[in-house]
């Protein structure tokens, strides 16, 4: 710990953002990069606790006190080496991770926590600027070949680890470009795609092979996969969206959030899209159903497309501003959050039940809603939704986006052909070594654990790579975390 009184002398500096009036005119990053000087000051706030709960709260077990201390000492390359030892995509998590670690920071008990995510971003960007980031070659070649199916964060982390172990790795992606949800599901104003491409270039130089436009099970038969590869890891994500089966659902103008975000990202990347397929909010009254991060991303896109007005509704009640007894420190709390997209405008409403869609000439025109409350019959029962009488109201809508989560992986094609065992939620079932019901076939990320966070996907990819390597070699030097 470089400065034992750092947390007393320096207050937390929040991430700075571009002015709203400026940033809604483009899709560039909304944040302003912090200077190295400010990062050194912020790193001095880390107390290097005897028990670093931030490390416990991080799914990839980042060695946070260690690299904060090195940043404070301006030993940037050493800080990078420690950071990259636990995180394969720090430039991604430094931008879009919800920072579970910060909610576990000991300093956060009676003060504002250390700005861990921004410190992480400062380290990796400093590393790129100073040419510290290099391919991690393995000069020991095992002669084993592994297929990674899906190129989201779990797939990329798994492929990166297996390549370091000396295996020949091929990442298969059904879309035309690598990145999965990182490329197509996250708007550029949160994650510009040059950030992803920069990492992919490193992985290519390291020896990872990428094969795009191939849908395993359809374009590439399972029999061929089994013949050509010694093991495979399924990182296909959880892409079947949750729907609202209510009256009027068949009206035009109602879309799933991921469809909306994918089209927006493809257009921004310069892809030629059929105009009839484009989902555009320009001049429209937009209603987003679902109050999570995906819904917030849709708000940001709608602002940039020039929506007339935006309303976001959520079935659950408005979260508390502070921790409640249900989420004591150091657990990640359910609290009220305002994203950069919310700061750009629009209305937010909680405890709202969507009852039916009403249309005109086959197009949605309004939504009929009512207010609800949740109550428990007793301490052991689950909350029950109760519609409040006399609270029915309408919201005008020309465009409705459903951002209410995902159910499970797509079963048609690959999963059906492999005939894998699934769990009660429809996700791929694995044993403790992340192997599926078929020997040599592993699974990681959302396709195994269900819809989750990017940092959990990276953790899953790393853990699975550990067990794949052990399966192929009988032992492994890859870390479990």
* 380 and 250 part of one domain: yes
* 73 and 112 part of one domain: yes
Tens digit of each residue's pLDDT (9 = 90 or more) over 342-391:
999 999 999 999 999 999 999 999 999 999 998 877 777 788 899 999 99
**In this structure, what CATH number is given to the domain that contains residue 333?**
3.50.50.60
Instruction: Give the pLDDT confidence score for residue 275 in this predicted structure.
Output: 75
Instruction: Give the pLDDT confidence score for residue 381 in this predicted structure.
Output: 77
* 162 and 115 part of one domain: no
CB 398 within 8 A of CB 359: no
**In this structure, what CATH number is given to the domain that contains residue 23?**
1.10.1060.10
Can you say whether residue 2 is alpha, beta or left, with left for phi > 0 and alpha for psi between -120 and 50 degrees? alpha
* 321 and 437 part of one domain: no
Query: Which residue among 101, 129, 157 closes a domain?
Result: 129
Query: Which residue among 376, 404, 432 closes a domain?
Result: 404
* 271 and 390 part of one domain: yes
Instruction: Give the pLDDT confidence score for residue 2 in this predicted structure.
Output: 64
Cβ-Cβ contacts under 8 Å for 84 (sequence gap 6 or more): 90, 124, 127, 133
* 318 and 378 part of one domain: yes
- Reduced 3-state DSSP string for the chain: CCCCCHHHHCCCCCCEECCHHHHCCCCCCCEECCCHHHHHHHHCCCCCCCCCHHHHHCCCCCCHHHHHHHHHCCCHHHHHHHHHCCCCCHHHHHHHCCCHHHHCCHHHHCCCCCCHHHHHHHHHHHHHHCCCCCCCCCCCCCCCEEEEECCCHHHHHHHHHHHHCCCEEEEEECCCCCCCHHHHCCCCCCCCHHHHHHHHHHHHHHCCEEEECCCECCCECHHHHHHHCCEEEECCCCCEECCCCCECCCCECEEEHHHHHHHHHHHHCCCCCCHHHCCCCCCCEEEEECCCHHHHHHHHHHHHHCCCEEEEECCCCCCECCCCCCCCCCCCCCECCCCHHHHCCCEEECCEEEEEEEEECCEEEEEEEEEEEEECCCCCCCCEEEECCCCCEEEECCEEEECCCEEECCCCCHHHHHCCCECCCCCECCCCCCECCCCCEEECCHHHHCCCCHHHHHHHHHHHHHHHHHHHHCCCCCCCC
* 153 and 272 part of one domain: no
Instruction: Give the pLDDT confidence score for residue 383 in this predicted structure.
Output: 83
Q: What's the predicted TM-score (pTM) here?
A: 0.95
Tens digit of each residue's pLDDT (9 = 90 or more) over 179-196:
999 999 999 999 999 999
Instruction: Give the pLDDT confidence score for residue 167 in this predicted structure.
Output: 97
**For the chain, what is the domain count?**
3
Instruction: Give the pLDDT confidence score for residue 295 in this predicted structure.
Output: 97
Tens digit of each residue's pLDDT (9 = 90 or more) over 431-474:
999 999 999 999 999 999 999 999 999 999 999 999 999 999 99
Instruction: Give the pLDDT confidence score for residue 311 in this predicted structure.
Output: 98
- Which residues of the chain carry a pLDDT beneath 50? none
Cis peptide before 330 (omega within 30 of 0): yes
* 303 and 438 part of one domain: no
Which residues form the domain of 438?
145-239+407-473
Query: Which residue among 377, 404, 431 closes a domain?
Result: 404
* 354 and 433 part of one domain: no
Could you tell me if residue 479 is inside a domain? no
Instruction: Give the pLDDT confidence score for residue 414 in this predicted structure.
Output: 87
* 191 and 227 part of one domain: yes
Could you tell me if residue 168 is inside a domain? yes
Nearest to 410 by CA among 209, 216, 223, 245: 216
Could you tell me if residue 140 is inside a domain? no
* 397 and 254 part of one domain: yes
């Amino acid at each position: 710990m470089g400065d034992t009184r750092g947390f007393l002398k320096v207050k937390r500096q929040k991430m700075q953002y571009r002015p709203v009036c400026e940033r809604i005119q483009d899709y560039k990053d909304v944040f302003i990069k912090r200077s190295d000087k400010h990062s050194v000051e912020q790193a001095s706030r880390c107390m290097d606790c005897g028990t670093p709960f931030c490390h416990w709260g991080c799914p990839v077990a980042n060695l946070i006190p260690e690299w904060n201390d090195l940043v404070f000492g301006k030993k940037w390359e050493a800080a990078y080496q420690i950071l990259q030892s636990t995180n394969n995509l720090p430039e991604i998590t430094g931008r879009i991770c919800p920072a579970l670690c910060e909610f576990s920071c000991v300093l956060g008990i009676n003060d504002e926590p250390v700005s861990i995510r921004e410190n992480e971003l400062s380290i990796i960007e400093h590393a790129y600027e100073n040419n510290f980031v290099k391919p991690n070659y393995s000069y020991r070649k095992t002669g084993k070949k592994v297929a990674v199916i899906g190129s989201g964060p779990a797939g990329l982390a798994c492929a990166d680890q297996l390549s370091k172990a000396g295996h020949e790795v091929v990442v298969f992606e059904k879309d035309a470009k690598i990145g999965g949800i990182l490329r197509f599901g996250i708007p550029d104003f949160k994650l510009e795609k040059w950030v992803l491409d920069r990492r992919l270039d490193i992985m290519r130089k390291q020896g990872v092979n990428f094969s795009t436009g191939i849908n395993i099970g359809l374009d590439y038969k399972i029999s061929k996969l089994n013949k050509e590869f010694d093991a495979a890891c399924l990182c296909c994500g959880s892409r079947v969206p949750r729907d609202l089966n209510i009256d009027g659902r068949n009206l035009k103008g109602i879309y799933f959030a991921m469809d909306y975000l994918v089209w927006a990202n493809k257009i921004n990347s310069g892809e030629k899209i059929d105009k009839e397929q484009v989902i555009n909010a320009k001049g429209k009254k937009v209603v987003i159903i679902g109050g999570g991060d995906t819904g917030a991303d849709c708000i940001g896109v709608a602002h940039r497309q020039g929506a007339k007005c935006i309303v976001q509704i959520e079935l659950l009640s408005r979260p508390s501003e502070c921790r409640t007894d249900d989420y004591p420190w150091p657990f990640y709390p359910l609290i009220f959050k305002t994203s950069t997209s919310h700061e750009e405008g629009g209305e937010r409403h909680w405890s709202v039940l969507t009852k039916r869609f009403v249309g005109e000439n086959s197009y949605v025109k309004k939504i009929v809603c009512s207010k609800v409350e949740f109550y428990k019959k007793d301490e052991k029962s689950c909350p029950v939704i109760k519609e409040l009488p006399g609270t029915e109201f309408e919201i005008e809508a020309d465009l409705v986006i459903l951002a209410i989560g995902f159910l499970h992986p797509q079963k048609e094609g690959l999963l059906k052909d492999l005939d894998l065992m699934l769990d009660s939620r429809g996700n791929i079932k694995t044993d403790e070594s992340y192997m599926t019901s078929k020997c040599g076939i592993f699974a990681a990320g959302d396709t195994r654990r269900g819809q989750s966070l990017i940092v959990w996907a990276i953790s899953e990819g790393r853990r699975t790579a550990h067990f794949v390597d052990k399966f192929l070699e009988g032992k492994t030097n890859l870390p479990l975390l």
